[in-house]
Amino acid sequence: MIKTIFTFLFSILTIGGFAQSIDDPFSQKKMKKDFKIFKEIRIQANSGLYKYRTKEQIDSTYHWADQQIEKSSTYLDFYNIICQLTDYEGSLHNNTSLPKKYAKRLREENEGYFPYPIKWIDGKWLINYENGEVPLGTEIISINGIPISEVIENLYKYYTTDGRNITGKRIGIRTHFAKYFRFHYGQQQNFNVVFKRASSNETETKSLQSVSYKAYYQHFHSRYSKPYDHDYYKDLNENQKYRYKQIDASTGVLTINTFAMGSETTQEHKNYLAFLDSTFADIKAQKLKNLVVDVRQCGGGTDPNDVVTYSYLTQRKFQESKQVWISFNKIPLLKHFDSSVPKFLRPLGVGKFNRDFQNRFPKEKDGKYYISDEENEMKIREPNENAFTGNIYLLISPAVASAGSLFAAMVAGNKNTTVIGEETMGGYYGHNGHISFGYVLPKSKIITDFSIDNIEQDVPEKDNQSYDRGIIPDLEVSQTYQDFLAHRDTQMAFTLQLIETNEK
């Protein structure tokens, strides 16, 4: 009898502990409690809160959230509110994560997901999957009666970018479209898709049965565009992270897929320095006139790989940052910090971390704590003796972010640089980066992450650059439909043709 009772109680606890769904009821009282904590976290710890929005605008979104909570009843409702708020701030390092038990349940859902990945090509959202029920490359017009433009706009909140950038959000949507659709619209048994083939002006309709979470991602990993965009998603080996190739007597191509090559103390970083030194010594010896710098797959990495690379592409003294500040000198709201250390022990061990922040950010002015001039970010750097002095053609894309966009912004600011491609998700004038903080909302256990360093990058003003946008290309070029089908690189072909024309 005791064994039977124990088994029953264990099964109840198991159901309660592991079977929670994002569609479960969640009380407004808990939402209000977590929302109050969320606001305190942003105001006390997030230096990027008012980077792109005024206090009045942020207050207005908080008022909107209060109203939405009054209409909300599920865990997913609250998650969507938090996603909307963090996206509105405008930092690509903002992130809103489900706790493990909810994420696990989501991955186990066996229906309700759109079956195919999609991709933005030539201003349209196309099916990016071959041999499906809807033909490869067909343009989606609507899903379940909702215009695709409206669907996409509603999904923007799940993938954060710097400022008011939109192009970068397409990177998240092309990867997680089915999951984002499920978040906003819920699970669907069927998807009525209105589409149009490239060879026709007539629309067609197809009813697609939903698939599981895992099936969608299996389709994504078998996406048609994989041969073209696989570098962005791979766990790159060292020899895949960067490369150089001279293509003719006057032109070379330097490709950097990531700046994640370790710090000054690592062998991988030292290997990269040796690569740069030998490459640019060779470029100088060959007297090349043109250098294509391709960072289209570069989503970030570690210091100082970005600024060291820039030293080979500039003739000016420079800094990584003109200015860096945070909004506190002691870690605020410690009990909500995302840490495995028990709450009652945190005050005992936080002193060292607070002293580190106080040493790194010693200057206080108007509630902002500014970085020391002795830190590497403020170091005045010299051009390398083998720095390239010819024509630079910088290839960028919406995937460029963080350290990748900081580097690209500095190169884009050179007078000898022509920028080609599509707007980056990372900001031109600055971003929030370096140190990441995470907090756990107490009732929902939703994790909210953001970077605490408010950074002003060392770049010149440019007429085509807005403060709240990514790097804007001088020549906007995106992959064409025909090149998408053929896995051809439209932007590289355009650039090499431009160089050939300029040479003549």
Query: pLDDT tens digit string along 174-215?
Result: 999 999 999 999 999 999 999 999 988 999 999 999 999 999
How many residues are there in the chain?
Answer: 504
- Is residue 267 classed exposed, middle or buried when 0-12, 13-18 and 19+ CB atoms within 10 A define those classes? exposed
The pLDDT of residue 361 is 97
Give the three-state DSSP class for 98. coil
Q: Indicate the helix (H) or strand (E) that contains 350.
A: helix 346-360
| Same fold flag, 118-232 and 238-435+453-503 | no
Question: What's the CA gap between 59 and 51, in Å, rounded?
Answer: 14
User: Between residues 230 and 16, which one has the greater pLDDT?
Assistant: 230
Domain 118-232 = CATH 2.30.42.10:
yes
**Coarse DSSP helix, strand, coil percentages of the chain, rounded to the nearest 5 percent:** 40, 20, 40
The pLDDT of residue 89 is 98
CB within 8 Å of 360: residues ≥ 6 apart: 371, 372, 375
Question: What's the CA gap between 83 and 254, in Å, rounded?
Answer: 37
- Whether 9 has a pLDDT exceeding 50, the answer reads no
Question: What's the CA gap between 89 and 154, in Å, rounded?
Answer: 16
The pLDDT of residue 2 is 44
- Whether 218 has a pLDDT exceeding 70, the answer reads yes
The pLDDT of residue 19 is 58
pLDDT band at 12 (very low <50, low <70, confident <90, very high): very low
Compute the mean pLDDT over every residue in the chain, rounded to the nearest whole number: 95
pLDDT band at 344 (very low <50, low <70, confident <90, very high): confident
Token couple for 209: 């049965």
pLDDT band at 477 (very low <50, low <70, confident <90, very high): very high
Residues 292 and 393 sit within 8 Å (Cβ to Cβ): yes
Instruction: Render pLDDT for 420-434 as a digit per residue (tens, 0 to 9).
Output: 999 999 999 999 999
The pLDDT of residue 372 is 97
pLDDT band at 234 (very low <50, low <70, confident <90, very high): confident
The pLDDT of residue 177 is 98
pTM of the model: 0.93
The pLDDT of residue 317 is 97
Percent of the chain with pLDDT over 70: 96
As assigned by CATH, the class of the 238-435+453-503 domain is alpha beta
Can you tell me the mean pLDDT for 96-122? 97
Range in 18-27, 240-249, 320-329 with the lowest mean pLDDT:
18-27
- Whether 351 has a pLDDT exceeding 50, the answer reads yes
Q: Indicate the helix (H) or strand (E) that contains 255.
A: strand 251-256
Question: What's the CA gap between 453 and 496, in Å, rounded?
Answer: 38
Instruction: Render pLDDT for 15-28 as a digit per residue (tens, 0 to 9).
Output: 444 558 999 999 99
- Whether 258 has a pLDDT exceeding 90, the answer reads yes
- Residue closest to 32 by CA, chosen among 76, 58, 80, 65: 65
Q: Indicate the helix (H) or strand (E) that contains 365.
A: strand 363-365
Instruction: Render pLDDT for 285-322 as a digit per residue (tens, 0 to 9).
Output: 999 999 999 999 999 999 999 999 999 999 999 999 99
The β-bridge relationship of strands 321-326 and 475-476 is: unpaired
The pLDDT of residue 17 is 46
Can you tell me the mean pLDDT for 110-139? 97
The pLDDT of residue 15 is 41
The pLDDT of residue 395 is 98
Token couple for 131: 């041999």
* DSSP summary character for residue 362: -
The β-bridge relationship of strands 368-370 and 321-326 is: antiparallel
User: Domain boundaries in the chain?
Assistant: 118-232, 238-435+453-503
Sign (positive/negative) of CA torsion 228, 493, 481, 152? positive
Token couple for 87: 């996206």
Can you tell me the mean pLDDT for 54-72? 98
